[in-house]
Amino acid sequence: MSKVFKSDYSSEAVAGFTHRTAIEEAARCLLCHDAPCSQGCPAGTDPAKFIRSIRFRNTKGAAETIRENNVLGGSCARICPYDRLCEEECSRCGIDRPIEIGRLQRYAVEQEEAFGMRTLKAPERTNGVKVACIGAGPASLACAAELAKAGYLVTIFEKEEKAGGMLTYGVLPARLPQRVVDHDVAMTAGLGIKFEFGKKVGRDVSLDDLRKKGFKAFFVGAGLWRAKRPDIPGSDLNGVFTAVDFLKKAREAGGVPEIKGKSVVVVGGGDVAVDSAVTAKLAGAEQVVIYYRRTLEEAPANMDEIRYAISIGITVATNFAPSEISGTGRVEYVSFRGRDGKSEAKVAADAVVFAIGQDPEDMSWLTGVKLTEKGTIMTSRNGTTDAEAVFAAGDIVNNGKTAVEAVAAGKGAAFDMMSFLGK
Amino acid sequence: MAVKKDLSINYLGLKCENPFFLSSSPVGSCYEMVAKSFEAGWGGVFYKTVGIFVADECSPRFDNNSKEGLRWVGFKNMEQISDKPTELNFENIARLKRDYPDKLMVASIMGSDDDEWKKLAKMAEQAGADMIEGNFSCPQMSNHAMGSDVGSSPDLVRRYSKAVTEVTKLPFIAKMTPNITSMEIPARAAAEGGAAGISAINTIKSITNIDLENLTSMPVVDGKSSISGYSGAAVKPIALRFIAQMAKDEKLKGVEFSGIGGVETWQDALEFVLLGARNIQVTTGIMQYGYRIVEDMISGFSHFMDEKGVSSVDELVGGALSNIIPAEDLNRDFKVLPSFDEDRCIGCGRCYISCYDGAHQAIDWDEERRRPKLNDNCVGCHLCLNVCPVQECILPGEIKFKEGRRAGDVVIKRHYE
Ligand SMILES: Cc1cc2nc3c(=O)[nH]c(=O)nc-3n(C[C@H](O)[C@H](O)[C@H](O)COP(=O)(O)OP(=O)(O)OC[C@H]3O[C@@H](n4cnc5c(N)ncnc54)[C@H](O)[C@@H]3O)c2cc1C
Ligand SMILES: Cc1cc2nc3c(=O)[nH]c(=O)nc-3n(C[C@H](O)[C@H](O)[C@H](O)COP(=O)(O)O)c2cc1C
Ligand code: SF4
Ligand code: SF4
Ligand code: SF4
């Protein structure tokens, strides 16, 4: 992520490339043989190929490569942890610094949109076999796309009113503008995929109902939607949020009016914690402090994001874990205990956001599917579960990783589904 | 689901899957290379020039020209024709034609007298080549009876073209040297000798760099070097000019052109097509980047046709020719003032420097705001637009008619990359 200043909650953080600057950056690419960057992308987006297309003035071809390999290419371009994936692998690191692969990907997808390209089209012939995908997050969208390309009739059931999963309801819009997610979803839908929103499978409709309606196989990409609250006194007070609720609220309302000018404590050390803190700050909170129970070096959050948070006035306090929240009816104070077992702190706060991880919702409605102790779904290779015709991938299986890994797993599961259905 | 158009085109009566061919050079000099290029998508090959003479090459033999950060804008080579036995080359051509019947095989040949030309032409026909190209243009042959010395003599071009076309029915293409003022003259001579096609350009005689260690030019061969052929992106403008002039030449009507020189992208290829080429050849782009560049040539060309609603490459051939007119016929009644986008401007001041030092002192520099301001000296040359580092920050703006000239509609360019 660049150092461009983020001015308000929903305005974009990083400027994109122009045609000229994109070609300049693509000209830095060494056009490697057996390109390491392409091997570094879990979803097989094939950066080496699309960068080459940009370099040789075939931007539309670049957009096609991205979209055909990764239906969420626009979103991934914004939020992938490249520094641990393609860009880390980039050969150019041996000379100076990696190619800005994410930004080039963003450029190509922006051009796809600007040209009104219809990169993905429904196949001319379908095979008449109905399959259902549960959830409209990255894993499901990627799975649905592969199935639709192969001619299956795919319906996605989604409990919320919009597709995108955590990309729509979680990730900070300054990092991932909603229109980028919407464009990815629209391109995917172009494959002829049907969406049923506001339908929670297991509550509003059962798997058996769907079987009766003729669905022959099921993909579960339900993600992790139950936020953890710590088991400490006061965690039910007004003003205590879980990160998922807080971010979703901010996303839906375009901000969080009640924290304007207030003091907010965020608990956690991952990207979700940083996103929550940045959201609070950009939404107008006077003071935002992240408390993390370990050290910064141990924090899973992206260092650039932490640096950015600090640069906009967020404080990060480490080695403190919350022990109690107090106040009359509402949050007034949060108490912490130090990792050393001796230190203690009590700070005044108007709101507390817990970003200490998400858990799966109750998956017991998936009869026959084996769950882990934590409640995530157990699968064999490529998303095959213990129940016949039921497949799963993404956060609900890997316990929460990244969007691109969800895409990769969703694609993989689609191939297992097809070989099952082909039997 | 990628957009893919039918890029096929007839060249000299033969159907080519697409107009993109390897030009005669090391990129098409053995069976495996050509086979790989066909798999990558190239429509055909002008096989490395075969002679009776077998080259004895020097080492090293390449150099490149760079500008600032950009390496290899131009490429220099000191290679001659094939260094493989004549028979082996024709065997390769025969095998390739057998294994890839839908691809076009052009045998490039070079003799040193009538007999050699005839002999080579017959061997090419026997090998099953689809066409023959006469190499009248290698600028670094070690024998003056061959190469660009021949190509700059219309008499020899006519004579050897005739020698070839007398012994074969295969279409004959004469490959021209750019080391000449007016290419129409040898091209007409080739047509008179029976050539059905003209390809241009071969490499330009050059000295790329002087080596300060050895006080010779590059590359250094035992402390010495030679003047030799220049190719690659840097030569494209020169090649385009030759193709346009020949395509506009009345005496060359009916001759089909193959454009060569600096092609790397679909857009480069399209430029040649718009100036009248029905066939495109590439060497340096492949030497630098590999056969794979054809993927984006095919895809990009398809997208262009898709966007413009063009259904065959044929429709594009020569599309820009009528708009290339003599300098004396240009409309000189107006000037187009540059318009500066203050929001896009980053305040570097390069426009100011260039306009002062290289144009007409027409930009005043606002030191406070770090922004250019146009004054009345502007002549509309657009040096500033060329130098500005920000895309579309300076664009053509107001059109001003000169004193006493009649105002009318003026067509201008609106989008710059
Ligand atoms: C704040 C935050 C920041 C993040 N930042 C990044 C980042 O920078 N980079 C990155 O790569 N990843 C990031 N992630 C992680 C990324 O968003 C997830 O890994 C990814 O979205 C997982 O995709 P998924 O499809 O498995 O699940 P989800 O995205 O969670 O989608 C699951 C979908 O299923 C729906 N659903 C659930 N149960 C049912 C049901 N029973 N019936 C119908 N629908 C149902 C849900 O409503 C949801 O739409 C972040 C996550 C969060 C929360
Ligand atoms: C290394 C090298 C060897 C070449 N050998 C031949 C040759 O044997 N016969 C020939 O007709 N042209 C030869 N050429 C010229 C090319 O075919 C071509 O006309 C020229 O390089 C311009 O095209 P380009 O810019 O795509 O390279 C050679 C060029 C290079 C760079
Ligand atoms: S590894 Fe880096 S330099 Fe090599 S092709 Fe990929 S982006 Fe280009
Ligand atoms: S158009 Fe030419 S004269 Fe006018 S401002 Fe630009 S550089 Fe100067
Ligand atoms: S060259 Fe372009 S960016 Fe630089 S000062 Fe002039 S107008 Fe502005």
Domains A130-225+361-421 and A227-358 are alike in CATH topology: yes
Residues of B with catalytic function: 138
Contacts 24+ apart (CB under 8 A), B33-39: B34/B92, B34/B96, B35/B96, B35/B99, B35/B100, B36/B291, B37/B286, B37/B291, B37/B294, B38/B96, B38/B100, B38/B103
Query: Comparing C-alpha atoms, which of A306, A303, A256 is closest to residue A283?
Result: A256
Over the Cα atoms of chain B, what is R_g?
A: 24
**Are B191 and B162 within 8 A, CB to CB?**
no
- In this structure, the residue with its CA closest to atom 22 of ligand 2 is B261
User: Mean pLDDT, 10 residues at a time, over chain A (423 residues)?
Assistant: 44 78 96 96 97 98 98 96 91 97 97 96 95 98 98 98 95 91 97 98 96 98 91 93 90 85 95 93 94 92 88 96 95 96 95 93 95 95 92 97 96 96 86
Question: Which conformational region is residue B13 in: left (phi greater than 0), alpha (psi within -120 to 50 degrees), or beta?
Answer: left
Query: Comparing C-alpha atoms, which of A24, A2, A17 is closest to residue A111?
Result: A17
* Smallest CA–CA distance from A31 into chain B, residue: B289
Q: What is the pLDDT of residue A248?
A: 87
In terms of CATH architecture, what is A227-358?
A: 3-Layer(bba) Sandwich (3.50)
The reply to whether B409 falls in a domain is: no
Domain boundary residue among B294, B323, B352?
B323
- Among A19, A119, A120, the residue with its CB nearest the CB of B417 is A19
- Tell which atom from ligand 2 comes closest to the C-alpha of B23: 17
The reply to whether B127 falls in a domain is: yes
* Smallest CA–CA distance from B289 into chain A, residue: A31
Q: What is the pLDDT of residue A1?
A: 35
Domain boundary residue among B323, B353, B388?
B323
CA distance A22 to A26: 6
Residue of A171, A178, A304, A397 with the most ligand 1 atoms within 8 Å of its CB, for mutation: A171
User: Is any Cβ of chain B less than 8 angstroms from the Cβ of A156?
Assistant: no
**In sequence order, which ranges of A96-242 are alpha helices (DSSP H)?**
101-114, 138-149, 166-169, 178-189, 207-212
User: Is any Cβ of chain B less than 8 angstroms from the Cβ of A57?
Assistant: yes
User: With 0-12 CB in 10 A as exposed, 13-18 as middle and 19+ as buried, what is B157?
Assistant: buried
| Residue range of the domain that includes B312 | 9-323
Q: What is the CATH number of the domain that holds B393?
A: 3.30.70.20
The reply to whether B306 falls in a domain is: yes
Q: What is the CATH number of the domain that holds B65?
A: 3.20.20.70
The pTM (predicted TM-score) of the whole model is: 0.93
Tally of domains within chain B: 2
The reply to whether B411 falls in a domain is: no
**B186 and B41 housed in the same domain:** yes
Cβ neighbours for B251, distance < 8 A, ≥ 6 positions apart = B184, B188, B191
Each domain of chain A, given as residue ranges in start order, spans: 19-114, 130-225+361-421, 227-358
CA distances from B340 to A244, B379, B399 (A): 47, 15, 14
Residue A102 alpha carbon to ligand 3 centre in Å: 12
In terms of CATH architecture, what is A19-114?
A: Orthogonal Bundle (1.10)
Residue B340 Cβ < 6 Å to ligand 4: no
Our measurement of the distance from residue A360's CA atom to the centroid of its chain's CA atoms, rounded to an integer in Å, reads: 15
Q: What is the pLDDT of residue A13?
A: 57
Cβ contact, residue pair A64, B299, below 8 Å: yes
Ligand nearest to the CA of B374: 4
Coil vs helix vs strand at B246: helix
Residue B276 alpha carbon to ligand 2 centre in Å: 21
Give the fold, CATH level 3, of A130-225+361-421.
Answer: FAD/NAD(P)-binding domain (3.50.50)
Q: What is the pLDDT of residue A4?
A: 35
Q: Roughly how many angstroms between the first and final C-alpha of chain A, as a whole number?
A: 46
The reply to whether B413 falls in a domain is: no
Cβ contact, residue pair A19, B1, below 8 Å: no
Q: Testing the interface with B: which of A60, A107, A149 to mutate, by most B Cβ within 10 A?
A: A60
Q: What is the pLDDT of residue A62?
A: 98
Residue A221 alpha carbon to ligand 1 centre in Å: 9
**B147 and B269 housed in the same domain:** yes
* Smallest CA–CA distance from B2 into chain A, residue: A64
Stretch (H or E) spanning B127: helix B114-127
**B84 and B39 housed in the same domain:** yes
- Among B70, B303, B391, the residue with its CB nearest the CB of A20 is B391
**B102 and B191 housed in the same domain:** yes
**B171 and B97 housed in the same domain:** yes
Our measurement of the distance from residue A394's CA atom to the centroid of its chain's CA atoms, rounded to an integer in Å, reads: 10
CA distance B161 to B158: 5
CA distance B259 to B275: 9
Cβ neighbours for B160, distance < 8 A, ≥ 6 positions apart = B111, B114, B117, B134, B136, B150, B193
**B158 and B307 housed in the same domain:** yes
* Torsion angle, alpha carbons of B312, B314, B315, B320, to 10: 130
Q: What is the pLDDT of residue A5?
A: 39
Residue B325 Cβ < 6 Å to ligand 5: no
Ligand nearest to the CA of A363: 1
pLDDT tens-digit map of B284-308: 999 999 999 999 999 999 999 999 9
pLDDT tens-digit map of B10-62: 999 999 999 999 999 999 999 999 999 999 999 999 999 999 999 999 999 99
Residue B81 Cβ < 6 Å to ligand 4: no
The reply to whether B95 falls in a domain is: yes
* Torsion angle, alpha carbons of A316, A319, A324, A328, to 10: -20
**B317 and B357 housed in the same domain:** no
Number of A–B residue contacts, CB under 8 Å? 54
Cβ contact, residue pair B1, A121, below 8 Å: yes
**B241 and B376 housed in the same domain:** no
**B319 and B376 housed in the same domain:** no
**B64 and B147 housed in the same domain:** yes
Query: Comparing C-alpha atoms, which of A108, A93, A97 is closest to residue A52?
Result: A108
A68-72, A258-262, B141-145, B361-365: which range is least confident on average?
Answer: B141-145
Coil vs helix vs strand at B292: coil
**B345 and B319 housed in the same domain:** no
* Smallest CA–CA distance from B299 into chain A, residue: A61
**B84 and B212 housed in the same domain:** yes
ipTM of model: 0.94
Residue of A90, A95, A97, A105 with the most ligand 3 atoms within 8 Å of its CB, for mutation: A90
